[in-house]
């Protein structure tokens, strides 16, 4: 197990290094410069600013300086946001994004399990059909459309929840729903497929032959076996939430990472782009590592491979 | 099978089952009757698709959703199982009638400890405490021959070999001491030595637990040492039934001849092994007359017109073939079958005392338990 973890850790660091490198050079290929919006600056002023940020050095030197800083946890100063350190920006904006992300994940996955499970048990009935249509809609409607619809009809027209901004819990509800659409639909479809598969397996037949009620069969045998593979979906769902948050946070004016990320890209704020990218990457690889470990813990077939067998 | 014996545990009368499919109605079971006596083992043999599983699953009310009972009765304890509600069936399943499935690799829940899986029927039916159920599960685990049962009770299915898993499946089936055990090809997925061990175990446990067994197989060779009686199924019907000796040494139906000839044995070594040529009929539209006629070299003209009724061979032996009609011309069965019948005649010489030849078909003897991982 220790050896396995060490190996995973090595690949994790390698992945992060590759992401850092690729992002750095892709970012340099973005059109425009950090100062392209500041037309009043003279050439000498621009050169001065470039010099303070080290942007006059050759790109490969910038890259090495950047890597060296990053390893020490220093992502540099933001060009745009009042010259604040990027790490400080991240720290202040993380809580809102995390809260939304976790809320959306919990709501989406739980609803998805319930809906997908019911669809599987009532397979090929109108219940199943309706649920399939809903989840296909939720997958195909982009989250920003859902967000705007929610904002307009529930926020503005019905006045049920705040239209935008950030404050008490009620502010989180609409963005959470908008973000939860994708994990909900993905989970529902996954669980339905998984459960239909499990329900047709021999051990379910045996469970019925034991005299279990249909609820007993689902509760004691089908559910557990369908839920375990769901763990592998957490990684992709995290990615969904990250990309979803970019637009959803903007629409609802949530002071989160996603909103800042979009701003920093439009203004070529290199240190912030890099900082956020790296933070997302670290989050994702850690989520993937944790889900792998958890999978190994809950699935007896994998659990024992390292130990006795 | 007409039988008025009061000891009949199960009596299936004129069972008819159809399946609704996109292509039409599959007439899977077409008028099947048989009975099962207390303590006996009845083997149901027949090719794939002949309806063995559908017949036995209907005893437990476990057929697919698209199954339609088109007629008949299944009497168990004086009540018609087919008329029972799902709730009433749940009380019977696993308690009075239990089942062993074909593939031990897939019939255990991979995420549940085997002890819990064995104890589950007890908890459902006998309402015993979990602790007590686990204690009984441990006893049963020992009974089915799992060594080091105290530790292995907490293992998961993937930690056992195929043969061991089938022992666990048997433990699950027997934990409530059912009156009837349905074994649907319980050894087909196992290799030959392990097959023999499982069969031997089933016989031993049958005596201890005093259960009747319905043993399903498509391999007559497995049946010899196991069963008391045999029912031969073809295309949704029983075509011949009798005691093991009657079916093995005095078979009357050409389909039974075909099955016997496709079975490897030592005493009737004819050199070649012949599978029955041709394929079973399409049950969406079963043929008029005898369903086996198209594959039957001995078919008579009437076989294409009219279904043969059961002709009585002995009190316990019936066969549905026109060849037994007194008006039919006598035919000579295949050589190997003729040899069997000659043996049968020898067995019934003089005072009618039945002298059964030592049967090498019984492979369940003299084997050690060595299929542990
Ligand atoms: N759910 C179903 N829908 C349609 N047809 C079915 C269904 N279940 C069984 N059948 C049909 O019923 C017939 C009998 O099937 P059954 O499973 O009883 O055969 P079997 O004798 O057990 O064969 P095997 O040796 O392969 O297990 C087959 O023709 C099969 O195709
Ligand atoms: Mg079958």
In a domain, B25, yes or no: no
DSSP string, A149-188: HIIIIIIIIS--S-SS---STHHHHHHHHHHHHHHHHHHH
The model's confidence at residue A267, banded by pLDDT at 50, 70 and 90, is: confident
Q: For chain B, give the percent of residues with pLDDT over 90.
A: 70
pLDDT value for B368: 41
Rounded to two decimals, the ipTM of the complex is: 0.86
Q: Give dist(CA B96, CA B115) in Å, integer.
A: 21
The angle at the Cα of A271, spanning A270 to A272, to the nearest 5 degrees, equals 95
Least confident residue range of A160-169, A297-306, B23-32: A297-306
What is the average pLDDT across A198-222? Answer: 94
Q: Residue A88: left (phi > 0), alpha (psi -120 to 50), or beta?
A: alpha
- CA dist A24 and B136 (Å) reads 66
What structural domains does chain A harbor?
A: 92-256 (1.10.3720.10)
Nearest CA to ligand 1 atom 10: B28
pLDDT reported for residue A233: 92
Q: Is B232 in the pocket of ligand 1 (CB under 6 A)?
A: no
Least confident of A1-15, B36-50, B76-90, B250-264: A1-15
pLDDT tier at B69 (50, 70, 90 boundaries)?
Answer: very high
For every residue of B160-181, DSSP letters joined together read S-HHHHHHHHHHHHHTT--SEE
Q: How many domains does chain B have?
A: 1
The answer, yes or no, to whether any atom of ligand 1 lies below 6 A from the CB of B52, is: yes
**How confident is the model at residue A307, as a pLDDT?**
41
Work out the average pLDDT over A272-280.
89
Which of B17, B20, B24, B28 is the pocket-test mutation for ligand 1 (most atoms within 8 Å of CB)? Answer: B28
Average pLDDT over residues A140-146: 86
Quick one: which ligand is closest to B217's CA? 1
E strand or H helix that includes residue B27? strand B24-37
Chain B residues close to A221, C-beta within 8 Å: 109, 112
Residue B6 is predicted with a pLDDT of 53
- Asked if B168 has any chain A CB less than 8 Å from its own CB, the reply is no
Give the closest of B90, B156, B172 to A300, CB-based: B156
- Torsion over CA: B105, B106, B107, B112 (sign): positive
User: pLDDT tens digits for B181-225?
Assistant: 999 999 888 888 899 999 999 999 999 999 999 999 988 888 888
Q: Give the residue whose CA is nearest to atom 18 of ligand 1.
A: B51
Between the two ends of chain B, the Cα-to-Cα distance in Å is 45
B195 located within any domain: no
Which residues, including other chains, have CB under 8 Å from residue A116's CB and lie 6 or more apart?
A: A131, A135, A187, A188, A189, A190, A191, A192, A194, A195
Residues B198 and B204: their CA atoms lie apart, in Å, by 10
What mean pLDDT comes out for the span A1-26? 87
Neighbours of B159 (CB within 10 A): 18
Q: Are B98 and B59 in contact (CB under 8 A)?
A: no
Q: How far does the CA of residue B97 sit from the closest CA of chain A (Å)?
A: 9
First-to-last alpha carbon distance for chain A, in angstroms, is 15
In a domain, B168, yes or no: yes
CB B168 within 8 A of CB B157: yes
pLDDT at position A38 is: 66
> What range defines the domain where residue B135 resides?
97-177
Write the pLDDT tens digit of every residue in B154-180. Answer: 999 999 999 999 999 999 999 999 999
User: Does residue B210 fall inside a structural domain?
Assistant: no
**Rounded Cα distance, A254 and A249, in Å:** 5
DSSP E strands in chain A: the ranges are: none
SS3 B242: strand
Chain A partners within 8 Å of B60 (Cβ): 209
CA–centroid distance, residue B51 to ligand 1 (Å): 6
Pocket test for ligand 1, best of B15, B49, B285 (most atoms within 8 A of CB): B49
Distance CA(A179)–CA(A143), nearest Å, equals 6
| Residue B358 pLDDT exceeds 60 | no
Say whether A211 and B95 touch across the interface (CB within 8 A). yes
Q: What is the mean pLDDT of residues B316-327?
A: 93
CA of B48 to the centre of ligand 2 (A): 7
pLDDT of B84-143, one tens digit each? 999 999 999 999 999 999 899 999 999 999 999 999 999 999 989 999 999 999 999 999
Looking at residue B274, what is its pLDDT? Answer: 66
CA distances from B273 to B220, B264, B265 (A): 13, 7, 10
| Residue A199 scores a pLDDT above 60 | yes
What is the rounded distance in angstroms from the CA atom of residue A301 to the CA atom of residue B97? 31
> How far, in Å, is the centroid of ligand 2 from the Cα of B70?
20
Among the bound ligands, name the one nearest to the CA of residue B101.
Answer: 2
List the beta bridge partners of residue B243.
B229
- Ligand 1 lined by B45 (C-beta under 6 Å): no
Question: DSSP string of B274-325?
Answer: -PPSS-PPPTTSPPSS-TTGGG-TT--GGGGTS---PEEEETTEEE--GGGS
Q: For the ranges A243-257, A290-304, B42-56, B171-185, which has the lowest average pLDDT? A: A290-304
């Amino acid at each position: 197990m220790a050896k396995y973890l060490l190996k995973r850790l090595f690949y994790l660091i390698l992945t992060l290094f590759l992401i850092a490198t690729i992002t750095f050079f892709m970012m340099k290929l973005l059109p425009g410069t950090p100062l392209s919006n500041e037309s009043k600056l003279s050439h000498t002023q621009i050169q001065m600013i470039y010099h303070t940020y080290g942007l006059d050095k050759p790109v490969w030197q910038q890259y090495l300086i950047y890597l060296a800083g990053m390893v020490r946890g220093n992502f540099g100063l933001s060009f745009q946001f009042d010259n604040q350190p990027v790490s400080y920006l991240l720290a202040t904006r993380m809580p809102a994004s995390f809260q939304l992300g976790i809320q959306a994940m919990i709501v989406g996955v739980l609803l998805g399990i319930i809906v997908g499970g019911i669809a599987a048990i009532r397979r090929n009935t109108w219940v199943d059909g309706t649920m399939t249509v809903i989840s296909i809609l939720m997958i195909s409607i982009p989250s920003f459309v859902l967000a705007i619809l929610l904002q307009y009809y529930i926020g503005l027209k019905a006045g049920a929840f705040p239209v935008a901004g950030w404050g008490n819990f009620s502010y989180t509800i609409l963005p959470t729903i908008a973000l939860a659409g994708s994990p909900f639909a993905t989970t529902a479809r996954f669980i339905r497929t998984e459960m239909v598969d499990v329900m047709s397996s021999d051990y379910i037949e045996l469970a019925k032959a034991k005299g279990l009620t249909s609820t007993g069969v689902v509760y004691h045998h089908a559910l557990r076996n369908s839920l375990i593979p769901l763990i592998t979906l957490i990684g992709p769902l995290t990615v969904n939430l990250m990309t979803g948050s970019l637009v959803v946070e903007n629409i609802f004016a949530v002071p989160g990472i996603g909103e800042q990320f979009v701003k920093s890209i439009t203004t070529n704020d290199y240190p912030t782009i890099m900082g956020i990218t790296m933070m997302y990457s670290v989050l994702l690889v850690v989520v993937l590592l944790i889900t792998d470990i958890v999978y190994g813990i809950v699935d007896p077939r994998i659990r024992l491979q390292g130990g006795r067998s | 099978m007409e039988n008025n014996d009061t000891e009949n545990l199960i009596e299936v009368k004129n069972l008819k089952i159809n399946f609704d499919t996109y292509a039409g109605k599959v007439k899977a079971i077409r008028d099947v009757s048989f009975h099962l006596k207390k303590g006996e083992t009845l083997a149901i043999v027949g090719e794939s698709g002949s309806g063995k599983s559908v017949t036995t699953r209907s005893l437990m009310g476990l057929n697919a959703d698209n199954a339609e009972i088109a007629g008949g009765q299944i009497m168990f304890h004086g009540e018609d199982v087919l008329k029972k509600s799902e709730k009433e069936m749940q009380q019977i399943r696993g308690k009075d009638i239990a089942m062993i499935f074909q593939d031990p690799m897939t019939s255990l829940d991979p995420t549940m400890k085997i002890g819990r899986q064995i104890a589950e029927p007890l908890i459902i039916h006998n309402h015993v405490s979990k602790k007590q159920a686990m204690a009984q599960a441990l006893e049963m685990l020992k009974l089915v021959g799992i060594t080091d049962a105290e530790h292995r009770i907490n293992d998961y299915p993937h930690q056992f070999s195929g043969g061991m898993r089938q022992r666990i499946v048997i433990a699950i089936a027997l934990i409530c001491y059912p009156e009837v055990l349905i074994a649907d090809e319980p050894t087909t997925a196992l290799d030959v030595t392990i097959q023999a061990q499982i069969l031997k175990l089933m016989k031993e446990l049958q005596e201890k637990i005093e259960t009747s067994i319905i043993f399903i197989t498509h391999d007559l060779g497995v049946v010899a040492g196991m069963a008391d009686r045999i029912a031969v199924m073809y295309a949704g019907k029983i075509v011949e039934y009798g005691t093991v000796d009657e079916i093995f040494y005095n078979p009357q139906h050409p389909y039974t001849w075909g099955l016997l000839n496709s079975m490897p044995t030592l005493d009737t070594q004819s050199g070649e092994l012949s599978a029955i040529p041709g394929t079973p009929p399409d049950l969406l539209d079963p043929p008029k007359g005898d369903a086996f006629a198209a594959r039957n070299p001995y078919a008579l003209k009437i076989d294409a017109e009219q279904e043969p009724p059961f002709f009585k061979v002995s009190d316990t032996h019936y066969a549905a073939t026109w060849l037994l009609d007194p008006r039919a011309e006598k035919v000579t069965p295949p050589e190997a079958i003729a040899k069997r019948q000659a043996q049968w005649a020898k067995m019934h010489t003089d005072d009618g005392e039945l002298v059964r030849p030592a049967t090498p078909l019984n492979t369940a003897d003299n084997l050690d338990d060595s299929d542990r991982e």
